[in-house]
A and B are shown apart, each in its own frame.
Chain A
């Protein structure tokens, strides 16, 4: 079970089976993430991206197989230890009424604190850093209800950052954001990866953004990995047809030389 390559992989799955009740969503998943990279999961709605991401963060019970964190079985590790190494922002989180941004971000320190919530200097630093990275410092004292959708999303990202984990999982972090705030989040992910060596895994819908900001792409279809690899290798006309049912022109991005996708027709 402990293959040598797993020890180097932040998260891998082994014959992972995921189901809701009796309906199997992911029958048989084997994938391995690379350390220190930005990986994006793409695929049509309902293909199981969130389900897989939640399983990678031990938020879902597995029906078979397992997930390993640097070779250790994820479900057998103490949950609090996992929370110090891996942070996950689910899709569309909801906060209880009346919380301020700062109070929300402080939750990120929960796995680092003991039985009693003593606010140590390193906790304060982490919270201040998370707020500043997301540009939320000036909103710290606002109740979440008094924020725009984009600001609220950044507050949640700040909470995940305050966990100060080496692995960061983000489920559709750019949904509900306008274009410039989308870029802000993507650049933040890239910066955290470049400057701090964090392993970032995101579910993204915009294929061009996924290509531009990822080192690695995982394309999913019907609960299975259709392709995994570098963006320029994965994003092919065949993939666009098979996975998304699209016909597209593939141009070359003048900055990166990677493909730039212009869909022009549906195949189904």
Chain B
């Protein structure tokens, strides 16, 4: 009597999608590791990765190129995870670290920190970015909240205020950079969104944060699922909503803050990756989150690789390319939400 219905989103499908994305990411990584003034064939890259090949190739691949690829992958994954977590907690499809002031706040704080304390220990930068991320986020919440209203944060208002605050913070950041002494200023331009010049130091800066926060975001998947049902149902199912929200937001904000110190603000990655993941594997976070991470990593690596090959010897910043793709999608979402 009823037509048998085969579910669109299954765990098997999620595994398949994740497998394909992981394979693509690996292949692209090997390709990117061979790219440069002296191109290295994939076979030699592969050998170097496993400790073989001649020492010159090893040095080229492992010491010069690996950090850039590593930073691309990690920062892409972190922005994507941050977006997925925030969209879940705020229950707002337009929430994304670069659209709600988190990324811009982190960028500004990182810039000021580096200029004010050039001699500060390298581990301090992510903490400064974290503080800035919360500052930017707090500002957006403060300005977009309808204090009299009952139903919290309307998606479009949050996005509009977020974009405006981000633009303002970004402008201040540029101003600070312009006024900075020459050498220092140019060393900080990466904060506007590129993995160009990413070195081992930057990789080591983000790696510990990624190793803690990415698994933490995966552990949040069930909490996010329940929060996604809304406050009443989540409470009814025994979740303490406010602590759960705060914990999840803490992880989301920290992910974006740390990612900014690796590659600056990579526009719209945190918006695009989770949306694409939901289209591919559905709304359950146990599936959406891992697929988002992979998509974010792949997206940034692809953008950077493309940026390096489009107009050599010029390098188009990865953040510029992700923004070119993301902005139209954002506009589409805005129209749909309004």
Residues of A within 8 A of B (CB): 20, 54, 57-59, 78-84, 87-88, 90, 93-100, 103, 107-108, 110-111, 117, 138-139, 141-143, 146, 163
Contact = CB atoms under 8 A, between A and B. Distances in A.
Contacts, number: 77
Contacts of B150: 20
A96 B283 contact: yes
Given A107-B226, A142-B5, A143-B8, A59 B236 contact: yes
Given A79-B240, A84-B238, A111-B238, A59 B232 contact: yes
A93 B233 contact: yes
A54 B232 contact: yes
B282 interface: yes
B2 interface: yes
B258 to A, nearest CB: 25
B238 A79 contact: yes
A108 B237 CA distance: 7
B: interface residue count bin = 20 to 34
A123 B5 CA distance: 23
B283 A97 contact: yes
B229 A83 contact: no
A98 B283 contact: yes
A264 to B, nearest CB: 38
B236 A87 contact: yes
A110 B283 contact: no
B235 A79 contact: yes
Nearest to B227: A96
B283 A58 contact: no
Nearest to A91: B232
A-side interface mostly: mixed
Interface in B180-229: 222, 225-226, 228-229
A99 B283 contact: yes
17 contacts: A59-B235, A79-B239, A82-B238, A84-B238, A88-B236, A90-B233, A90-B236, A94-B230, A96-B229, A96-B283, A98-B283, A100-B9, A108-B237, A110-B222, A139-B2, A142-B7, A146-B5
Contacts of B6: 141
Given A79-B240, A103-B284, A139-B2, A58 B235 contact: yes
A83 B238 contact: yes
Contacts of A20: 150
B278 interface: yes
Nearest to B2: A138
Nearest to B7: A141
Contact of B226 (A59, A82, A110): A110
Contacts of A97: 278, 283
Given A57-B236, A139-B5, 7 more contacts: A20-B150, A59-B231, A59-B235, A59-B236, A96-B228, A110-B238, A163-B237
B271 to A, nearest CB: 17
Nearest to A169: B236
B5 A110 contact: no
A101 B2 CA distance: 15
B5 A80 contact: no
Contacts of B229: 93, 95-96, 107
A107 B237 contact: yes
A153 to B, nearest CB: 14
Given A20-B150, A59-B236, A93 B230 contact: yes
B232 A83 contact: no
Q: Which of B7, B8, B236, B284 has the most CB of A within 10 A?
A: B236
Q: Which of A59, A96, A97 has the most CB of B within 10 A?
A: A96
B238 A141 contact: no
A61 B237 CA distance: 16
Nearest to A143: B8
A78 B239 CA distance: 10
Contacts of B284: 98-99, 103
Contacts of A99: 282-284
B232 A90 contact: yes
Contacts of B8: 98, 143
A110 B7 contact: no
A261 to B, nearest CB: 32
Contacts of A111: 237-238
A78 B232 CA distance: 16
A18 to B, nearest CB: 14
B154 to A, nearest CB: 15
